[in-house]
Each structure stands twice: as C-alpha cells, then as structure tokens.
Structure 1
C-alpha cells in the first residue's frame, strides 16, 4: 500500500488526491490531506468572494474527493517549526505532495505603504471571508471602511475587481451570502462613495476576466466611470483586432462605459489606467489620506515608462492587489527569486537533484498564475511523476500510523466528522441570525464546533 500525504486542501491539493485515487497504475493508494486550518477547500472557501455562489459551489466537487473511501482529511495540522517538519512527514508517508499555495502578497515598495489604512487586498478578503487569521492578526479591528469615503484599489486583476465590488455592494446583496455577521454590519453601514481601481498599464493588458468586469456595470446605485483619454493611450485599444479574444472583450466593455455618460448615482467606481503608485501620504490623523501616482506611457515592448507627470488621488483606504508570492516552508528548498520550490515535473529538487518522496503542485510549484482549473493539469503532472517513482517509494517501510503519530506530537487533527460539525454549526449560526449559512470567523469558534464530535463520542 502506497501512503501519501498531501499538504493543503485547496484545489491543487484536492486535485492531486483525486488523481492519486482515480488512477489504476498503482493499486491501493491511501491519501491523507493535511491542512493548517480545520476547514477544507483553501481559497475556494477563503478567497472566492461571498457573492460568487457559482464559483463557491466548486466545494461540492472537492467534497466528493475528500469523502472518497481512500482519502482522509486531517485539519488543524500545521507543518513547520514546533510541530512537524518535512523530514518527519517522510517518516510517516512514502511520499508528500506540498500544495501550500502562495501565502503572502507582493508589495508596492513605495514610501507610506505601511501607513494605517493601507492594506493588502488579501487582508480585506480574509476579513470578509471569515478567515480565522483575520482576527488573530488584528488588522481587521478597525473594520477597514469605518470613516472612509474614498478608497483606492491598486491592481486590475480579478482580486482587485472583487474587493472594489465588495466596497460598493449594498446590504441587500450581501445579506444572502455566508459573510460573517460583523463584516456584513460594517459593510452595510459603509460610507464609501468613491472607489478608484488603478492599473499601471493599459486596458488591453488588464488581467481581469470579462465576466468579472461586467459585474461592475451591474452594481446598483453605482456609476462606472472610465476616462476615454486614458484608454486611448493604449495602442491596442485603438485597434483591438490583434488581441486575444478575452482581452478584446474587455476592451469592448470598457469602450461602452467610456461612451456612457455618468448618471449621478450614489457611488462612483472609477477604472483608471497608465498610473503607477509612487507614494502614500498620511493625513492629520496619521492614517493614509493621499496616494500619488505617476502617469505611465507604453514603451512599445509590452511595458511602460514614466512620464514625469503626477496625479494625487485622495483616499482614506488603500488596498494593494498586485499579486501573490510563495513563502519558504522550513525544511524545504526555496527559490527566493521566483517564490517557488525548485522542482522538475513536480519532483522537489535539493541541490539540483530530485528528493525521493517529495513533490509540489499548485502555486508553490509554478507561481501564482492561472485560474482554479489550471491546478488540475498542474497536479496531474506531479502525480504522474509520483506514480513513476512509486515502486521505489513503496520499498521503504513505514513504522507508525500517521494519525497516531500526529496526536503523539501534540496535534489534535480535525477529521471529516469534525468538519461536518463546523458546517452544522455555521448553518445553526445562520438560522439564529435569520440568514442562510454564516461562517464562523474565529479560531476558538471553529475549534469549539469541531470538538462537538469528540464530546458526543465520549458521551456515547
């Protein structure tokens, strides 16, 4: 029997587990899917906007894999110093596939970036998505939007679109979602009236999808404002015929908004292009009050160059959405320049040589690129490498039952019944608030919900 640990229960980890148990090259593969959180699904649970029910329904597909008879979910298992290091995992499993994603944000590298009121978009997303670290880290204590009338979102990808949309959403649209009640109350009472979403390059190079972009135009009581002069700086905007289909559709949507007069609605969402941030400045209260941008121009090679002309945009809130970056996991090699683990077709490389039994998939393998579905072929490639190595891996005897060893190390893994207890508690919480399912936002609440199963077993 080949025993494999998959570290991370987001799409890449679950797709890796699926590939392992659905193949017929190696019989009787058993997979433990480990996660630092007591809840599965990774960014599908904690990164997809709460009003995107169709994308969030992907959890049902991931659930089917985690309920497979040869897959075991073990939440609340953190890999790292003080718990379990990679070499210890290899004592417990024939192979380990690390699917730990890209856990931090890229920085702007400009003065004032760390002023109060300036956050990464991930911090904002974690708060309204009920990630338990949002309360632990303390950056959500001011509710982000309190006393904010103007906000700037730096970046023009799908995450930037999500956070811009959430800033101007009304309470009626957010009430049916699983957003935690505290975040819902803050956003429902928000005084944000103007949001500027700013990119350093042109509309033809923006990374949002057309579906996400169009949603902005359907927001109630919100004018979407686009400056045709900024769009015209992009040569591909003038003649979009040579663009990929998705970029061409984006350009057409933006063209329509640029030609449409503003209606004087309660809120404005401005899409700005060819501006790069150079500094953030504090106001009298010590919080961010102004963001300075330099006008950029196309350099003819797909990039931009500075023009020496500057523009200040007032903002009491700045959300930075300029990409993610992987972080080192102690005990694994790490390419600091790329923010990934060195690998060959998913096999972890130590000093340029494949390390027996160690593999990577997802963003920690290839970098933060692609959409959710991109993880499927990425994970499949890694699993194929693992299966090619399986005969050699299986020859190494394993001395301990992994679950027993995890408990002996002081961990209290949350198994699948514990996760189902959390789901049940979130449904109960929603009913008590007169809503649908509402997420539990804190570590203590999640642990208490998961512990119900143990309490019932002890009483039974």
Structure 2
C-alpha cells in the first residue's frame, strides 16, 4: 500500500513520527513535513539553552532523518492560515499534528501578570524571530519560579556573563543584552521538596560549572518524609538530584560574583509592586510535607527583595484552526493517537487526523517519551490504513500541494533551503573575528527566508 502523509510541526515529535512512517517496511509511505518557521528542529533549535551543546547534538540525528528521500520539508507555512486542515485532508491520506508547546502558562497569583514567562526569555536568548530582540537585564536580584530544567536554564543564563556565552551560537543582539546583565543574585523557588523537583541530574550539576557562579541551598530545605524517601529509592534520577542538592546545602558562600539560591518549600503567593507597577519583591509562604504525598502551608510568609520575576511553570500548546482543542489541558483531545471530536471521547474521531508530542500529552517528558509517543501514534495510523479506514485524497499528485501554495502566494521554504541557511549561519560564526564560533544564528524572519525559501 502506498500512502502520503502530512506531518505538521518539524520539531522532534514531528521528525520522529515522520521517520517511523517512512521506515515502515510493509507500506510505501511518503511524508511532507510542514513547519511554521523558516527552519526546522523546533524546540531543539529554539528551546534549548545555547550553552548546552550536548543536547544540541540531537539536531544531528534529526538532520539525518530529514536527509531521507521519502521526506520533504515544507517550511514557512502556517496550517490554519496559509493552508487549512481540510486542504491537508484533500491532499493526503492522513495528517499527523505535532505542533508542540511554546507559549507560557500564566502565573495565577496576585501580581502574576507582572512576571515574565520563561519561554519569552528562552525565545529571546535562542534567537527565535517570533520573540523580543532586546531584553532589559537591569535587575540585580531576580526570582525564577519553578524547579524544572527550564528554570535551571533561565537561572544559569541570568547568572552567566555575556563573555562566557560568546562561544555559543547566540546572535549579536542577544550578546549585546547579556553583556549588560546586572543580575548578581538569582533565587529559584519550588513549593515542594528536593525529592519532588523536576530537574534532570546532569542539568542540575551543570548549573555549577561556571567559575562565576555558586549554587547554594539552605540546609533547612533538605527535608524528606517517608514517601519522599520511597520516591528516592524507586527512582535513580531523583536520588541523584537529592544528592547534588545536599552537596549544595553543605557549602559556605564563596567569592563567586553570581549566586543562585535554590529554595524549596516556598510557595509564591504574590508579586509585589510599587505605585508605578515596578516589581519590588516576591512574597512566598513556607510549606511543609504532610506525610501523604502533599504539602501544607505553615502561615509563615517571606518577602524576597527582587526586581524581576520569571515564571517557569510550564509551556502550553495553542489551538490549530479547524482542529478540536481542550482549553483546560491545552492539548488536542485524543485517545493516544487519534484526534477526538471532543475531550469526552464519546463522540468519535476526526477523519484522518492524528496527534503526537506535547500537543498530544502536554509539555512533559524527555526525548525518549517523544519517540514512544510517535510510535503509538504511527502504529494507530498504519493500523487504520490496513483496515481501510483512511479515505483517499481528492488530489493524488505528489507535487500538487506546491501548486496550491504557489496559487495562494505562500513563500515556502525547503530542506535544500535549510542547507543554505545553515551555511550562512556557519559563515557568520567563522567571520566573527572577535568571537569566532561554529555558528551564529540569523534572527530576522525575512533574513532567514532569504536563504531558505524555495528557488523555483
């Protein structure tokens, strides 16, 4: 059986799903991979801190997938605007949605609207063209709400000097902001204890690798109840996290110019501001373990004198025009792969629509979860094809989708265009005589498209 599948979203989730489809040995499957940005790789390009080259290495494996003959990248195309979901149904046997999650969840406390979502800052320092170009880093004391890897990245970038990051791919506008960073103290806040933190051990250890940074934990925050101890015994990563945090708690402050304090059992309850609306502090309530897997407030409040607050409390997905969306969970309703008519699951499936990645299950998990997600979804798609449940598209020519895009004036980009953009970014990095490096990102959308657009 021959199938043509559209995958929407060229981040890891979409690329893994595409790879599994084109590698299927029982069917001849070709995939067109649609991407809103002029470049592929999603959060691996635009959501990973620039000083994490090990994680960036994932791009190499994703690159190998996109090099395969049965896969075509069609970038700079917004599904729901440039082409519709019904268009994709008309041109493909099936559609897999993998648009991820890039927007921040709101901080729902008094004054929370004054806090900045971590994703906004990540988008800035990763050179995402959809985010700010300049950043005010004048605060000397900063709060970061959250104890996951995004909070670690934000805290570490805030505590590093601009010079330390010149070996990375940051563009000039990011360097200009970071070199004027005034932050001396960064406070991270988690409402629960060390055993409940969502760090991965390697990232937690890397927080302390710079000579300019010292990480500190209050010994009073190293506390476990019986259930916390059980969690440590059952999960090696959690136990390693706790060991690292215990080491941080045994230190005395040194002369490092930047300090990162990780606070546990402190629940943010209000962002404090003055009459002009400027942030003057963060108020937290001390928590304690309740012995039943939860926490309870103690009634003890602390005001921390910070001038800026970031919240890393999770990303959220955005709806796609023409596709059902669960506004409470910020995901597309699904049964593990099929898109459902609604979140109840009682009214059946959407014709030919499937979902994978964070827009399927929420912004949790690592690359391994993304791969297992993709397998679950693609297995369902192929089973439906075998059962004759996929209606044939009305347009069957493999290049007809390009005719539609050109007819609508869509200036699409291609995989060949990515090679040109990649070459241009590498040339910029090599040409920087003061800070030569492997790559320097091109930030402006039109500049990116100038290299990556289809030249036909």
TM-score where L is the length of structure 1: 0.92
Unmatched 5+ residue regions in structure 2?
none
Alignment-derived partner of residue 8 in structure 1: 9
Q: After TM superposition, list the pairs within 5 Å mapping 1:386-397 onto structure 2.
A: 386-391=381-386, 392=388, 393=390, 395-397=392-394
The one-character-per-residue Cα deviations of 1:172-210 (angstroms, maximum 9, x if unpaired) are 431110011111122123111000011011011000011
- 2:125 paired with 1:128: yes
Post-superposition shift, 1:164? 0.6
The whole-number CA distance in structure 1 between the counterparts of 2:315 and 2:401 is 32
Task: Tell me: CA distance 1:241–1:124, structure 2 relative to 1, closer, same or farther (3 Å).
Answer: closer
Task: Tell me: CA distance 1:289–1:235, structure 2 relative to 1, closer, same or farther (3 Å).
Answer: farther
Alignment-derived partner of residue 89 in structure 2: 90
The whole-number CA distance in structure 1 between the counterparts of 2:429 and 2:207 is 28
Post-superposition shift, 1:159? 0.5
Other structure's SS at 1:161 match: helix
The one-character-per-residue Cα deviations of 1:264-318 (angstroms, maximum 9, x if unpaired) are 3211110101111111122465322211111112222222222211111121221
Post-superposition shift, 1:397? 4.0
- 2:350 paired with 1:355: yes
Post-superposition shift, 1:93? 0.9
Post-superposition shift, 1:2? 1.0
261-270 vs 230-239, which moves further? 230-239
Post-superposition shift, 1:70? 0.7
The one-character-per-residue Cα deviations of 1:405-459 (angstroms, maximum 9, x if unpaired) are 12222211101121112112212222332322100112122122325x63xx6xx
Alignment-derived partner of residue 175 in structure 1: 166
The one-character-per-residue Cα deviations of 1:2-37 (angstroms, maximum 9, x if unpaired) are 1100000011100000000111121x2110000000
Match 1:144 to one of 129, 136, 142? 136
- 2:68 paired with 1:68: yes
Post-superposition shift, 1:233? 6.3
The one-character-per-residue Cα deviations of 1:102-157 (angstroms, maximum 9, x if unpaired) are 23222221121222xx210000000000000113xxxx54x131x21011110000
Contact 2:194 2:223 (8 Å CA) reproduced: no
240-249 vs 52-61, which moves further? 240-249
Contact 1:157 1:206 (8 Å CA) reproduced: yes
The whole-number CA distance in structure 1 between the counterparts of 2:270 and 2:46 is 30
Match 2:244 to one of 248, 253, 258? 253
Alignment-derived partner of residue 374 in structure 1: 369
Post-superposition shift, 1:66? 0.9
TM-score where L is the length of structure 2: 0.93
What number of residue pairs does the alignment pair up? 444
Post-superposition shift, 1:347? 1.0
Other structure's SS at 2:50 match: coil
The whole-number CA distance in structure 1 between the counterparts of 2:231 and 2:359 is 34
- 2:429 paired with 1:438: no
The whole-number CA distance in structure 2 between the counterparts of 1:282 and 1:158 is 28
